Structure 1
C-alpha cells in the first residue's frame, strides 16, 4: 500500500490541471489506484481523500510561481508536508511533496540598521503590492520582510494569514496604521518591529493575541500610549523598548506583565523612579536598563528578583548604596555595571555572587587593590575591564 500511495502522490504532483482540476483521465487513474489498496481502512480513507489530492496539486502548482519569485528576490522559503498523519506514516514525507505547503518566508533586504542598504530597482524589492502574492498562504507561520519597501498600506494583504506566529517588519516604513488588519492573527508569538515607525499604539487592535511572547521595539518611536496597549498583552515573555521616547508614565503600564522573562528598557526621558513595580516581575531572568532608570531605586527593586541571571545597568547614576542590593540576587551569572558611582565599597556585596561568571565594571572607580581583592573573592568570575 505504501508503494501505491507514493504512486498516487507522484501522479498528482505531475498531473496536468485544467482550471485547477484534474483531467478525467487523471481522476480515473487515481481512483483505480485507490481501489487497489489492500487494507480496507487505508482504502476507504484514501478514497475520501481523493478531492484533497486535487486541491493539493492545484496549490502546489500555484506555489511554484511564488517560490520562483521568492528565489528571484534572493529570499528563502521553507515547506512542510500538510497531510493526514496516517498518510504521512505510510508513504513518508519525502514521497509527498505535492502536499508541501509554505510555512516560512524570509525576504529580508536589510537586517543591520547601521549599514546603508544596497540600491535596488523597485521591481527587485518587496513592496505593498508584492504582498498580494501571499493570498491563500494559510499555513504560513513566519514572515520576514525586514528592510523592504513594505509600508502599513500593505498590511491589509496579510489579514488572512491567521496562522502567522512570527512577523518581522523591522527597518521598514510601517507605522501603527493598518494594525487592525492583523487582529485575526491570534496565534502570533513574536513581532519584530524594530527601527520602524511603529509607536506600539496599534497593539490596541491586537488584544486577541493571547499567545504573543515577544515584541521588539528597538529604535522604534515607542510611546507611552504604545506601552499602555502592550501592557495588556499579559502573555509577553520578552519586551525590548530600547532607544525610544517612553517615560515613567508609559513604563508603569508594564506592571501587569508578570510573565516577562526578558526586559530591555532604554529611554532618556525616564527618571530614577521609572520602575517601582520591577520586583513584581518575578519571572525575569534577563534585564537591561539604561539611562536614569538605572538607579539606586531600581537596584532596590532588582534585589527582590528571585530568578535573575543576567543584568545590565548602563549609563546609570547608581552607586554603592544601590549595588548592595545585588548581594541578595545570588542567581546572577552575568552582570554589567556602568557607573562612576561604583567604588571599592561595593566589593563586599559583589563577592556574595558566587554564581557569577562574567562581571563588567565600566567606569567603576575601583582601586587596583580593590580589583585584586575582588578577583580573589570571585575566582571563577571573568572581571573586565
Structure 2
C-alpha cells in the first residue's frame, strides 16, 4: 500500500470480504480452463451449501458439493475435466477440508492453481502431489508452510509455472533457492519475510529473465544481492519494504531496469544520494519512500520521474525548501506527505497538480492559508488533514471539492459553525471529526451529507439530543461515538441504520441493556464495542440475532467472559474475538 490517505489514529476495523464467485466455462474439458494468474485465494462457485435462498443449484454445483463431502472415498479425480477438479480443490481449501490424504486424489489432475497460503500442515510430503500437475501448473502459494529445499526441488517439473509465493517461510536455504533458477517462465515471485534470502542466494534470480514482479519485503539479508537483478529487464515491480539493510549502492545496481513501473523501498537505509540513481527510470509510476532517510533534496531527482502517479514521502525529513520541484510532477494522482515539517508554503507548489486525487498531510504544519492552494484540486477524492493547524476559516476552501469522498479532520481546530461549509460536499462517504470541540450542533450541520458510509465522532461531545441527527445517515456502515454523553434514549436513534457493520459506542458510561435491545435489530453488524458501560450478562440475550458478529468488546462493563462464551456457543457461531476473554 502507498500509505493511508485517510488513515485512522486508532485500530481500523477489519472488514473481511467474501470470495468472488467465478463464471464457469460452458465447456468442461482439459483445454477449456481459464488461466488464473495471481497469488490471491481462488474461490469456487460453491461457497456454501448448494442453492441460495430458494434458488435451485446447478447440476455442477450439486456434483462438486457431493464430491467435497465424500472426498475421502475417491483415490483419484484425474478423469474429471480440469475445470471441475480445480473447483473441487478450491472448495476444499476454502472450507479447510483438504488434508494430505485427500490431496492424493488430485494427482495428475492438471490443476493450474494451487493456493495453499497460510494453510495448516503443508510440508514436503504435500509437494509430490502438487508437482504432479506438471506443465499445467501456473501458480503456487506455499506461504507459511514448512516446505523445505527438498520440496522446492520438486517444482522443477512444473516448467510453465508463472507465479510462486513463498512468504513467511524459514525452511529454505541458499541451496534451496537454486531449485527455482530453472523456472524460466516465472513472472511473479514473492519471498516476504525470509531470512534465507541473502545476497548470494539472490543469484538464483538472475536466470529468471521473464520475471515481472519480485517481492522481498522484510528480508533482512539482501544487501548486495541487487547485482543479480541487473539482467531482469522485464521487471516491472520490486518491493523491498522494511529491509533496513538496503542502501544507496543497491539502488545503483538496479538503475538500468528501465521497465520498472513500481518501486517500494520504504523504511530502508536510503538517502538523497541513492534516489539520484533512479533518474533514468522514466516508466516509474509508483515510488514509495516512506520512512527513508531522505530530505527535500531528493526532490531534484524525483522531479525527473515525470510518469509518477503515486508518490509516498510520509515520515521523511522534508521541509519547504525544494518543494517547488513538485510542480513538475503533473501526472501525480496520489501524494503522501504526512509527518513532515512542511508548511503552507509547500502547498503553493501543488496548485498545478490537476490530476491529484489523494493527498495526505497528516501531522504537517498546515494551516488555513494552505488550504487555499487546494481549492483548484477539483479531482480530489481523499484528503487527510488530521493533526494539522487547520481551523474554521480554512474549511471554506474545500467547499468546491465536489468529488471529495474521504475527509479526515480529526485533531484539528475545526468548530461546529464551520462544518456548514461542508454541506456542498455531496460525494462525501467518510468523515472523521474526532475532536473535543465538535458537539451536537456540528453533527446537525452535516445532516445533508446523506451518502456518508463512515462517520467518526470518537472524541466529539455528542448527547442524546445530537444523536437525533443520526437518523439522516441511512447509508452508514461504520459509526463511532465514544466518550460522549449518550444514554439509552440517544441510542434509539440508531434503530434504522440497518447498513451498520461496525459500531463503537465505548466510554458512554450510562448505556444499559436497553441499548442492546435497540442494537439487536442491526443484524448486519460485524463489530460491536460498548466498553465502559453498564451492560450486564442479562442484556447479552439481545445480541442473539446478530449472526454476522465477529468481534464483541464489552470491557469495563458488568459482563463476564463465561457468559459471552455461552452466547458464542449458543447463538453466535461467527464470533471469533471478544473481550473480556
Fold-level match, TM-score > 0.5?
Answer: yes
Deviations 1:105-158 (A, max 9, x none): 100007xxxxxxxxxxxxx52332221111211111111001112122211121
The answer (yes or no) to whether the contact 1:273–1:293 under 8 Å persists in 2 is: no
> Does residue 277 of structure 2 align to residue 241 of structure 1?
no
How far does residue 288 in structure 1 lie from its aligned partner after superposition?
0.8
Q: Which moved further from structure 2: 181-190 or 338-347?
A: 338-347
Counterparts in 2 of 1:383 and 1:374: CA distance versus 1, 3 Å: farther
Partner of residue 325, structure 2: 277
Does 1:256 pair with 2:304? yes
Query: 1:79 Cα shift?
Result: 8.3
Per-residue CA distance 1:22-71 (angstroms, 9 max, x = gap): xxxxxxxxxxxxxxxxxxxxxxxxxxxxxxxxxxxxxxx9xxxxx9xx96
Instruction: Specify the alignment match of 2:227 in structure 1.
Output: 180
- Give the TM-score, by structure 1 length: 0.69
CA–CA distance in structure 2, aligned partners of residues 170 and 79 of structure 1: 29
Evaluate the alpha carbon distance shift between residue 181 and residue 317 of structure 1 in structure 2; reply closer, same or farther with a 3 A threshold: same
Is the Cα–Cα contact under 8 Å of residues 317 and 341 in structure 2 kept in the other structure? no
Q: Does the aligned pair in 2 maintain the 1:294–1:314 contact within 8 Å?
A: no
TM-superposed deviation, 1:206: 2.1
Q: Secondary structure of the residue that 2:250 maps to in structure 1?
A: helix
Q: For residues 201-220 of structure 1, what are the alpha-carbon distances to aligned partners after superposition, in whole Å with 9 as ceiling and x for unaligned?
A: 32222233121110111222
Aligned ranges for residues 215-230 of structure 1 at < 5 Å? Answer: 215-230=263-278
8 Å contact kept, 2:247–2:269: yes
Tell me how far 1:263 sits from its aligned partner. Answer: 0.5
Query: Which residue matches 2:348?
Result: 300
User: Who is 1:144 aligned against?
Assistant: 190
Q: Secondary structure, in 3 states, of the residue corresponding to 1:383?
A: strand
User: Which stretch of structure 1 is more off in the superposition, 343-352 or 200-209?
Assistant: 200-209
The farther-off stretch of 73-82 and 165-174 is: 73-82
Give the structure with the higher percent strand: 1
More off after superposition, 252-261 vs 334-343 = 334-343
Report the Cα distance in structure 1 between the residues aligned to 2:216 and 2:253, rounded to whole angstroms.
17
Aligned residues: 294
Q: For the Cα contact (< 8 Å) 1:248–1:270, is it kept in 2?
A: yes
Alpha-carbon distance in structure 2 between the residues aligned to 1:250 and 1:101? 41
**Which position in structure 2 is the counterpart of 1:361?**
409
1-structure distance, mates of 2:135, 2:377: 44
1:295 is displaced (CA, Å) by 2.5
Of residues 143, 161, 171 in structure 2, which corresponds to 1:102?
Answer: 161
- The 3 A distance-change label for structure 1 pair 340 and 104 is closer
Question: Which has the higher relative contact order, 1 or 2, with Cα contacts under 8 A spaced 6 or more apart?
Answer: 1
List per-residue Cα deviations over 1:255-306 (Å, max 9, x = no partner). Answer: 1010001010024432122432112111111111123354313211222101
Deviates more, 1:323-332 or 1:175-184: 175-184
Q: Which residue of 1 aligns with 2:250?
A: 202
Aligned residues of 2:184 and 2:208 also touching (Cα < 8 A):
yes
Cα deviation for residue 80 of structure 1 reads 7.1
Give, in whole Å, the separation in 2 of the partners of 1:280 and 1:126.
46
Contact 1:272-1:292 within 8 A present in 2 as well: no
Question: What secondary structure, in the 3-state scheme, does the structure 2 residue paired with 1:341 have?
Answer: coil
User: 2:123 maps to what in 1?
Assistant: 72
Structure with a larger share of its residues in helix: 1
Deviation of 1:365 after TM superposition, in Å, equals: 0.4
**2:231 aligns to what SS in structure 1?**
coil
Per-residue CA deviation, residues 324-378 of structure 1 (Å, 9 max, x unaligned), is 010011111111113432111112210011111111113210111112x133232
Q: Aligned partners of 1:130, 1:365: CA distance in 2, in Å?
A: 57
Q: 2:422 aligns with which of 363, 367, 375?
A: 375
- Gaps (5+ residues) in structure 1? 1-5, 7-60, 62-66, 83-97, 111-123
Distance in 1 between residues matched to 2:410 and 2:425, nearest whole Å: 18
Change beyond 3 A, Cα 1:99–1:106: closer
Match of 2:482 in 1: none
Give the Cα–Cα distance (whole angstroms) in 1 for the partners of residues 313 and 384 of structure 2. Answer: 15
Is 1:125 aligned to residue 171 of structure 2?
yes
SS in 2 for 1:101: coil
Q: Label 1:340 to 1:160 Cα distance change in 2 as closer, same or farther (>3 A).
A: closer
Cα shift at 1:229: 1.2
Which residue number in structure 2 is paired with residue 116 of structure 1? none
Q: Deviation of residue 175 (structure 1)?
A: 4.0
Are 1:156 and 2:178 counterparts?
no
Cα distance in 1 between the residues matched to 2:362 and 2:341: 9
Note closer, same or farther for the CA distance 1:232–1:174 as it changes in structure 2 (3 Å cut). farther
- Report if the CA contact (8 A) 1:183-1:205 is conserved: yes
User: Aligned runs of 1:21-32 on 2, under 5 Å?
Assistant: none
Indicate if the aligned counterparts of 1:236 and 1:260 stay in contact, CA closer than 8 A.
Answer: yes
CA distance in 2, matches of 1:272, 1:213: 28
Partner of 2:255: helix, strand, or coil? coil
| Local SS of the residue matching 1:290 | coil
The 10-residue stretch of structure 1 (271-280 or 234-243) with the greater mean CA deviation from structure 2: 271-280
Instruction: Say if 1:80 and 1:345 are closer, same or farther in 2 by CA, change over 3 A.
Output: farther
Between the aligned partners of 1:134 and 1:345, the Cα distance in structure 2 is 60
